Amino acid sequence: MANDKDTPTVWAVGGGKGGVGKSVISTLIAFWLSRSGKSTVLMDMDLGGANVHTLMGIRNPSRTLNDFVTKKVKSLDDACITSEVDGLKLIVGAGEILSLANPKFAQKIKIIRAVYGLDVDHVILDLGAGASFNILDFFLTAEKQITVVTPQPTSIQNAYAFLRSAVYRRLSQLTSRDPSLMTLIQTAMNPKNELQMRTIKELCHVIEELEGAESVEALKKEIARIRPLVVTNMVRDPNDKNAGRIVQLVAEKYLTIQSDAACGVSYDRQVDRMISEMTPLVQLNRSSRVFSDIHDVCTRMMS
Ligand SMILES: Nc1ncnc2c1ncn2[C@@H]1O[C@H](COP(=O)(O)OP(=O)(O)OP(=O)(O)O)[C@@H](O)[C@H]1O
Ligand SMILES: [Mg+2]
């Protein structure tokens, strides 16, 4: 193992809405980690529309995740391709195989196990848009979770909806063997439910009344493990960072999830231009504010 732990530290970058910068931020985090001497795998988990290799300037990848899933290569490590950055490897998404946009349960477990078996310090999972069960499961499996939001109101709504879905997904997994608890959780997922359980706090209250304090404490403990860092991307004005703060406040109030203080990543036209020209993002000018912002995000996540 490359680090002191038995398994790599897995990061997941999600956020619900498409085009908010999940792939840009994942790529730059992976770059930051490898530059700080940590062996890192950047893994494109946008199984429907993989594009991280393009951000790394790779046009025709020789291998993809699909080679691992279909057993063309033996291990996930064999599905990695090297990049121009020392210590940074890439697993290209399997976007061309539509069936993998929605992997079966066994495929998902196989992928998750293999991720934890990689002999590297960090693995960054760049998730696709939306909040499908598969995306949520990869998000929830990660020790370090990042939710990306932009200042647009639709993005704020999506980021909150993503976190809400993640919490309910976790609760559903935990109670899958308890039909009465499961029913309560499914009821609470409808915000207009007749039991008036509109928040996780209210749901917990009802569970406590019906099932006792012990059941609810166990669930609360698990919810507390969801601790995303909310990152506002494409910040052009200091007030734009309020987007992340709003998501954080609402998530705390309605979902009882605590997140670390929100971070921001500046908008830089050069990022836009490089992506259009297919220039590797790691060649971004070192003086770009985006680099110091990513540095803040990473140091916050590492602390
Ligand atoms: N900090 C930034 N500054 C300038 N432009 C940015 C920045 N972040 C992202 N962009 C622009 O937004 C576009 C979308 O970014 P990206 O592909 O990372 O989004 P995404 O959330 O991964 O999208 P999808 O959900 O489709 O995977 C980029 O191609 C780039 O043009
Ligand atoms: Mg993406």
pLDDT truncated to tens, each residue of the chain (303 aa)?
555 678 999 999 998 788 999 999 999 999 999 999 999 999 999 877 778 888 998 888 999 998 998 899 999 999 999 999 999 999 998 765 545 556 778 888 899 999 999 999 999 999 989 888 889 999 999 999 999 999 999 999 999 999 999 999 999 998 888 888 888 888 888 878 888 888 888 899 888 888 888 888 988 898 988 999 999 999 999 999 999 999 999 999 999 898 777 899 999 999 999 999 989 999 999 999 999 999 999 999 998
- Second-level CATH architecture of 9-153+228-296: 3-Layer(aba) Sandwich (3.40)
Q: How far is the CA of 162 from the centre of ligand 1 (A)?
A: 18
Atom of ligand 1 nearest to the CA of 148: 21
Is the shortest distance between the CB of 234 and ligand 1 below 6 Å?
Answer: yes
Residues with CB under 5 A from ligand 2 (ion): 22-23, 46
Check pocket membership of 135 for ligand 1, CB cut-off 6 A. no
Q: Cα–Cα distances in Å, from 236 out to 24, 265, 275?
A: 16, 9, 19
pLDDT at 286: 92
Domain ranges of the chain: 9-153+228-296, 167-221
CA distance 266 to 240: 10
Contact 265, 232 (CB under 8 A): yes
User: In the prediction, which pLDDT does 140 show?
Assistant: 95
- CB of 293 shorter than 6 A to ligand 1: no
**Residue 176: per-residue pLDDT:** 85
The atom number, within ligand 1, closest to the CA of 235 reads 1
